[in-house]
Amino acid sequence: KDVTARFINGYVPAYENEDLAEEAVNRILAGKKSEKKKEELFDSMGVGIPKTFAYIAKIALNLKGYSRESGNPEYDWIQGQVQNDQLQNKKLKYCGIEALGILKADVDNLGLLFACGIREERLTLSRLATMSRQMNNYFSIFLPYKLKTDERFQNIYTVFAGGDDLFLIGAWNRIIDFAGFLHDSFKEYSCRNEQITISAGVALHKPNTPVLTFAETSENALEKSKMSGRDRVTIFGETAKWIDFIKLQEVKHTIENWLDSEKINNAMLFRVNELIEMRRQESEIQKSKFNIQLEDMECLKWRSRLKYTIVRNIGRKLKGDDKQKAIDEAMNVADWLETYKGTLKIPLWQIIYNRR
């Protein structure tokens, strides 16, 4: 007898042999957790057993001194595995924060797409069913398969994925990487139709946070993306269009290169973080026509402070023309502040959290 079938799928990461190797042990021992917490984490490990949130959060740590952009031969940041056998005898040191990223996303204006997406003369029940099934297949078949087979995303939990939305939990930096992949793959799946878009929200939490809080905060982030115009992503409380998010990831790579080449230092990152808030205040003043006080004008100094910060902190080992060239290059930060305003926090905080 014929019956209607619907795919129900998901992906739960489980421990494999490589998760029990020496590098994984060093990763667990890193940080300031009590001996009891570390013992509990070891006791929970075993081949085939689902990975705990505490272990997933550990995966967010980076080997100290890693260089994602320069292709450091000693460490593959994506896989989190030591590549040079000579390092096996060294005591590995890690940096970054142990935190989970929670991603919620769904398709924008789905009701409108079904109501008006098919021309009236072509509108049939079978076409509506096919459209619904193909939308569901992306979330319930393609994405769980990708989580299972792509090494970048194999430590991401599927809470649910189907219909037109998804709810994922993973290491916070992998989740942000996955958000970019989600946008790109969904655009390709929908044949880059400009009328079919997706919005997403990402929240960060410690692994011992209740799952209900995960759901609430990520839902709030998703709602902020929706209320800001849809076709957007919200991370660290800042909402950016997807096209800007992609460009902001390029900004992140540029800043990481500056750090790796010692053109700038960590102190400059925190100073720029302060200037982002001043740029935001300036933007609010520009929109306001009344009740502007003299003390409110303090934020207008961000350009001069940026120039001072760059000259003071840029390439302290550089001299002459090399130093001036580095200063001129770093002044791109002013253009980024003008263009991206508060959303510049997204790449900046990614770097700070990865290197803390």
- DSSP letter string, 7-65: -------B--GGGGSHHHHHHHH-SS--HHHHHHHHHT--TTSBPPHHHHHHTT-EETT
Residue 113 shares a structural domain with residue 221 = yes
Residue 343 is assigned to a structural domain of this protein: yes
Can you tell me the distance from the alpha carbon of 138 to that of 136, in angstroms, rounded to the nearest whole number?
5
Residue 69 shares a structural domain with residue 192 = no
Task: Compute the CA torsion angle 266, 272, 277, 278 (nearest 10 deg).
Answer: 140
Residue 236 shares a structural domain with residue 126 = yes
Q: pLDDT at position 82, please?
A: 47
Residue 51 shares a structural domain with residue 31 = yes
Residue 140 shares a structural domain with residue 207 = yes
Residue 74 is assigned to a structural domain of this protein: yes
Task: Choose the final residue of a domain: 200, 226, 241.
Answer: 241
Residue 10 is assigned to a structural domain of this protein: no
Residue 233 shares a structural domain with residue 324 = no
Rounded to the nearest angstrom, the gap between the alpha carbon of residue 149 and the centroid of all alpha carbons in its chain is 20
pLDDT mean over 239-251: 96
Residue 9 is assigned to a structural domain of this protein: no
pLDDT mean over 265-286: 87
Q: How confident is the model at residue 315 (pLDDT cuts 50, 70, 90)?
A: confident
Residue 146 is assigned to a structural domain of this protein: yes
What's 107's domain CATH number?
3.30.70.270
Q: How confident is the model at residue 1 (pLDDT cuts 50, 70, 90)?
A: low
DSSP, res 109: T
Residue 142 shares a structural domain with residue 169 = yes
Query: What range does the domain containing 312 cover?
Result: 247-355
Can you tell me the distance from the alpha carbon of 171 to that of 355, in angstroms, rounded to the nearest whole number?
15
Residue 91 is assigned to a structural domain of this protein: yes
Task: Choose the final residue of a domain: 95, 119, 138.
Answer: 95
Residue 123 shares a structural domain with residue 82 = no
Residue 77 confidence (pLDDT) above 70: no
Residue 31 shares a structural domain with residue 90 = yes
Residue 81 shares a structural domain with residue 167 = no
Can you tell me the distance from the alpha carbon of 227 to that of 323, in angstroms, rounded to the nearest whole number?
44
**Higher-pLDDT residue of 296, 67:** 296
Residue 290 confidence (pLDDT) above 70: no
pLDDT tens, position by position, 93-148: 888 999 999 999 999 988 887 777 777 778 788 888 888 888 889 998 999 999 99
Number of domain units in the chain: 3
**Higher-pLDDT residue of 299, 62:** 62
Residue 173 shares a structural domain with residue 91 = no
pLDDT tens, position by position, 22-49: 777 777 777 777 777 778 777 788 888 8
Task: Choose the final residue of a domain: 33, 62, 95.
Answer: 95
Residue 285 confidence (pLDDT) above 80: no
Q: pLDDT at position 91, please?
A: 59
Which segments within 122-215 are labelled E, that is strand?
157-162, 165-171, 198-205
Residue 2 is assigned to a structural domain of this protein: no
Residue 5 is assigned to a structural domain of this protein: no
Record the pTM. 0.85
Residue 157 shares a structural domain with residue 229 = yes
